[in-house]
Structure 1
Amino acid sequence: MKDNNYRKKYSKIPVVVIIFNRPDKTKILYESFKYYKPSKLLIISDGPRNSFKDEKEKVDQSRKVFEKIDWECEVLFNISETNLGCRERIISGLNWVFNREEKAIILEDDCIPSEEFFTFMELMLSKYQANKKISSVCGTNFLPDWSKTKNSYLYSKYCHVWGWGTWKDRWEKIDFNLDRLDEIKKTKFLKGYLGTFRAYLYWHWIFNNVKKKKINSWAYIWNFTNFINKSISIIPVTNLLSNIGIGKNSSHTRSLPYKYITAQESKKKLKFPLKYPSNLLLDF
Structure 2
Amino acid sequence: MSNFAPIAMFVYNRFDNLTEVIASLKKNPEAINTEVFIFSDGAKGNSQVENVKAVREYINSLHGFKKINIIERDENLGLETNIVSGVNKVLELHDRVIVLEDDIVVSEKFLNYMNNSLKYYEDEPKVMHISGYIDPIDTSEIASETFFIPTTSCWGWATWKDRWQYYNNDASAILNNIESRNLMSQFDFSNADVFRSQLLDNVFGVKSTWAIKWMGSVFLQGGLCLHPKYTLTKNIGFGEGATNTKIISRLYKEQKILDFHPKLSIIPHEVNRKAVESLQELYCYNGESSTIKKNFVFLGKKVKRLIRDVKRKTN
Q: TM-score, normalization: structure 2?
A: 0.78
Which stretches in structure 1 are left out of the alignment for 5+ residues?
1-6
| Corresponding position: 1:107 with 2:96 | no
Task: Give the drift of 1:67.
Answer: 1.6
Deviation at 1:189, TM superposition (A): 2.6
Match for residue 77 of structure 2? 84
Match of 1:166 among 159, 164, 176: 159
Q: Are the aligned partners of 2:168 and 2:217 in contact in 1 as well (CA < 8 Å)?
A: yes
Structure number with greater CO (CA < 8 Å, separation at least 6) is: 1
Q: Which amino acid is the alignment partner of residue 20 of structure 1?
A: Y
Please state how far the C-alpha of 1:32 moved relative to its aligned partner: 2.1
Look up the equivalent residue of 2:114 and give its one-letter code. Answer: M
Contact 1:238 1:269 in 2 (8 A): no
Correspondence for 1:24 among 16, 21, 25: 16
**Which residue matches 2:311?**
none
Residue 82 to residue 152, structure 1, CA distance change in 2 (3 Å):
same
Q: 2:177 aligns with which of 180, 183, 189?
A: 183
Q: Which residue is 1:282 aligned to?
A: 271
The answer to whether the 8 Å contact 2:239/2:246 transfers is yes
Report the Cα distance in structure 1 between the residues aligned to 2:141 and 2:9, rounded to whole angstroms. Answer: 33
State the 1:243 CA deviation.
Answer: 1.6
Between the aligned partners of 1:109 and 1:262, the Cα distance in structure 2 is: 20
Query: Do the aligned residues in 2 keep the contact of 1:105 with 1:165 (CA within 8 Å)?
Result: yes
Q: Which amino acid aligns with 1:27?
A: T
Q: Which letter does structure 1 place at the counterpart of 2:144?
A: N
Which stretch has the larger CA shift, 119-128 or 173-182?
173-182
Any unmatched runs of 5+ in structure 2?
A: 277-315
1:145-195: CA deviation from partner (whole Å, max 9, x where unpaired): 311212111111001110111111111110012334323322323335555
Q: How does 1:119-138 map to 2 (within 5 A)?
A: 119-138=112-131
Deviations 1:118-168 (A, max 9, x none): 111111011001101111111111134311212111111001110111111
Q: Secondary structure at the match of 1:115?
A: coil
TM-score computed with the length of structure 1 as normaliser:
0.86
- Other-structure match for 1:14: 6
What is the CA–CA distance in structure 2 between the aligned matches of 1:257 and 1:183, rounded to whole Å? 31
Alpha-carbon distance in structure 1 between the residues aligned to 2:135 and 2:186: 23
